[in-house]
Amino acid sequence: MSEEQLLSLLQGAWGTVLLSGLTLLLGGIAGLALALARVSALPPLRRLAAAWIQLIQGTPLLVLMGVCFYGPALAGVGTVEALPAAATAMLIYASAFLGEIWRGCIQSVHKSQWEAAECIGLSRWQRMRMIVLPQALRMATPPTVGFAVQVIKNTSVASLVIGFAELSYNAKVLNNSTFQPFLYFGSAALLYFAMCYPLSRWSRALERKLHAHRR
């Protein structure tokens, strides 16, 4: 592998990191909103959020990307940039899954905590913000870190319909011209592994610590 080919792979890896970071940040915000909607006191809001999450979780990411890439044509937008389209699709996808994970964590905070907070006169929002969410978020850390691994891997889908220049895209381009699949896809795999494996390990360690603490 020449130096510029290696550089191309590393630039692709940077694209992966960039897209992953945007996804987690924006998807995280949207996911929190969805989680709160799912546990809201208003039944229509709960049902809407639940339906939306079901919809997104039943959609292939690739299809979502297609919709986000070709959709803007409806509003008369001429050219769609790769990164915004990919980031939009991924944030929709991530928010649905993170919303479900976090809803599960909020609901598994013991009911007695809610009741105790109500007894000291806190409003619903105060209860959520000061008592329940901090505990829920601590429980949520292991699966969220685990989901970050999914996000990094799923950025590869952006190389297909949208053609965003992340790691998989660059590796494919290199293979197209040199026909050395083991070298380039193998190197790409190594780079993905280097990004994902530490997070996987960390997630498992967090999980163990959490359960040890609760025992």
Partner 1 sequence: MHYEFDFASVAAHWPLLLQGAWTTVQLSFLATLLGFVLGAACAVARGSRYGWLRAAVSGYVELIRNTPLLIQCYFLIFGLSSVGVTMPIMAGATLALVINIGAYSCEIVRAGLESIHHGQLEAASCLGLSPAQVFWHVVLLPAVERVWPALTSQFVLMMLASSILSSVGAEELLGVANRVQSDTFRNFEVFLLLWAAYLALACLMRAGFWLLGQLVFTRRRKLGTPL
Out of 17, 160, 173, 210, which residue is the one contacting partner 1 (CB under 8 A)?
160
The verdict on 157 binding partner 1 (CB under 8 A) reads yes
Q: Which residue has the tokens 């040890």?
A: 212
CB of 206 to partner 1, least distance (A): 17
Task: Looking at residues 58 to 87 of the shown chain, list those that interact with partner 1 (rule: CB under 8 A).
Answer: 58-63, 66-67, 69-71, 73-76
Structure tokens at 200: 């996987």
Give 140 or 171: the residue with its C-beta nearer to partner 1: 171
Out of 6, 29, 51, 55, which residue is the one contacting partner 1 (CB under 8 A)?
55
Say if CB 140 and CB 130 are below 8 A apart. no
DSSP 38-91: HT-S-HHHHHHHHHHHHHHHTS-HHHHHHHHHHGGGGGT-----HHHHHHHHHH
The verdict on 168 binding partner 1 (CB under 8 A) reads yes
CB of 145 to partner 1, least distance (A): 13
Using the contact rule CB under 8 A, the part of the chain among 17-25, 38-46, 135-143, 183-191 near partner 1 is 183-191
Say if CB 183 and CB 88 are below 8 A apart. no
The verdict on 11 binding partner 1 (CB under 8 A) reads no
The verdict on 189 binding partner 1 (CB under 8 A) reads yes
Distance, CA of 44 to CA of 25 (rounded, Å): 27
Give the CA distances from residue 123 to residues 104, 113, 114, 115, 128, in Å, rounded to whole numbers and listed in that order.
22, 14, 11, 12, 9
Tell me which residues touch partner 1 (CB under 8 A).
55, 58-63, 66-67, 69-71, 73-76, 149, 153-157, 159-160, 168, 171-172, 175, 179-182, 185-186, 188-189, 192-193, 196-197, 200
